[in-house]
Structure 1
């Protein structure tokens, strides 16, 4: 896609997003209280499944700055000593890495000097973001989750790095799985990143990964999706727009106001969906409350 075509798509989606969305909440405006109530009826079997991968503390080619975890209290021998003792620890994480599951706040993406809704990018300072932070979803995101499995559609275990998920793929996956993405849905698109990583080992995902084609974002805009998540970065690398390294991030977050979830894990959800023959479920997403943060570790829970 040329930069000119990308900018044309960006302008069209941005204009389209102004119809029916809340400038203060972005695409979450599609997730009305009525749709949350309807999502609760998705629970049939009472089974819960995490959509997050275990946080990693070991460096790797896709995780050169891994999360750190250390014990801060529990003296040697305390476990055998009489009386009361506490085990304490400390955790630190690079939120926007290429290995751990996380949610991107709307202030994460700056494009042409602006955030979503025309908010000046200067509102993000070295001390933190002043608008559209992860605090925007402090009450969580609860709605109907829909998983579209593109490798299953194509008859492969995973998409190879550099491959694109198109709008046609999403429509075909709907038809194959007997599900339709609708207004207010939380859309999860599987590319098989986690299965490939588990089978072949980690690689430099910053340089090579499967993801959505920028033109596929028109599908999400037309269906009025409330949030988007993938087991990859959502963006393909190498990208489809040479001049814009993360076109899906720009279109989703900056134009449409869609919160993104990167590097989720669907491998535990897949067998449950296949067993129940259902690809839609109640989904509960509860980011941490960091008032000035551009994102948060996240552990979405599917309730089927």
Structure 2
């Protein structure tokens, strides 16, 4: 991209479709509206074995957590434990029991998390056309709170791009498109259906725990989806409510063609209202799906109800 003029994201997405107003002028959950009771029951019908998987990465690991470069690691601090009693400073309760308590300080997007639909914008408008001034001092429109209050339940489908390409983990900066997703689904023997919650495994987050933080962040360049008008149209026509990946951005950071940073955040989330879930741990689920050949399941999630939050931690639960 050296020497090339990078266009404004507005120019790149000039003809990109929008769902603004589709669910009314006050909507704050966007494409999650696609997840009706019919879609929930379609997900329930995928429960065949009673297996459960949780998709959140560990939080507050002493060895560090996988987070977006530049964000601070979570800090968990004991404010009450046995030590307080040993030095005579523990509280006295009727019955003489003892207790432990702690606090955590963290970036709200410093773990497996949902983005608020108003998290990213351009031209001073966030999802549904709300003015970007509504983000000042805390989001009063399209925050993560309405997503947390609504919850996310539907038929999930896992597409294992790493396994499709014969790798444990995709290479730094390795890209794929919706056509690659369809090819991987065909090889897995499944069909991505309308209104599926789409989970994509690259192996990236799992590699953090295998490589260690120093090697993981060296020359950091995530793999992921790349922008094209055709890809955005596909997401629109498929009515995808939620994109979940084991990367930190759900897309390559810099579009290799235009040089625009995070164009899919704007095309899919800002314009179409698709919920983005990032930093999911998908390796155990993928291994099990490869073993039993069941790639669809009931997906359930509810981010923390953070008032005004631009994102919130979540521990999605998958049931097969």
TM-score, normalised by the number of residues in structure 1: 0.89
Q: Could you say what the CA RMSD is over the residues aligned between the two structures, in angstroms? A: 2.7
Q: Distance in 1 between matches of 2:12 and 2:185?
A: 24
Structure possessing the higher radius of gyration over alpha carbons: 2
Which residue number in structure 2 is paired with residue 290 of structure 1?
306
1:140-219 equivalences under 5 Å are 140-202=151-213, 203-204=216-217, 207-215=220-228, 216-219=231-234
1:78-97 equivalences under 5 Å are 78=85, 83-97=96-110
Which residue number in structure 1 is paired with residue 144 of structure 2?
134
Q: Distance in 2 between matches of 1:295 and 1:205?
A: 26
Q: Distance in 2 between matches of 1:144 and 1:243?
A: 34
The SS at the match of 1:157 is coil
Is 1:14 the counterpart of 2:17? The answer is yes
- 1:292–1:86 Cα change, 3 Å: same
Which runs of 5 or more structure 1 residues have no equivalent in the other structure?
A: none
- 1:107–1:173 Cα change, 3 Å: same
Which residue number in structure 2 is paired with residue 227 of structure 1?
242
Is 1:248 the counterpart of 2:255? The answer is no
Which residue number in structure 2 is paired with residue 43 of structure 1?
47
Q: Distance in 1 between matches of 2:128 and 2:6?
A: 21
Equivalent residue in structure 2 for 1:55, among 54, 59, 71: 59
CA deviation after TM superposition for structure 1 residue 78, in Å: 3.5
TM-score, normalised by the number of residues in structure 2: 0.85
2:299, 2:317 within 8 Å by CA — same for their partners in 1? yes
Which runs of 5 or more structure 2 residues have no equivalent in the other structure?
A: none
Q: Distance in 2 between matches of 1:175 and 1:21?
A: 33
CA deviation after TM superposition for structure 1 residue 129, in Å: 0.4
Q: Distance in 2 between matches of 1:73 and 1:197?
A: 32
Aligned residues: 300
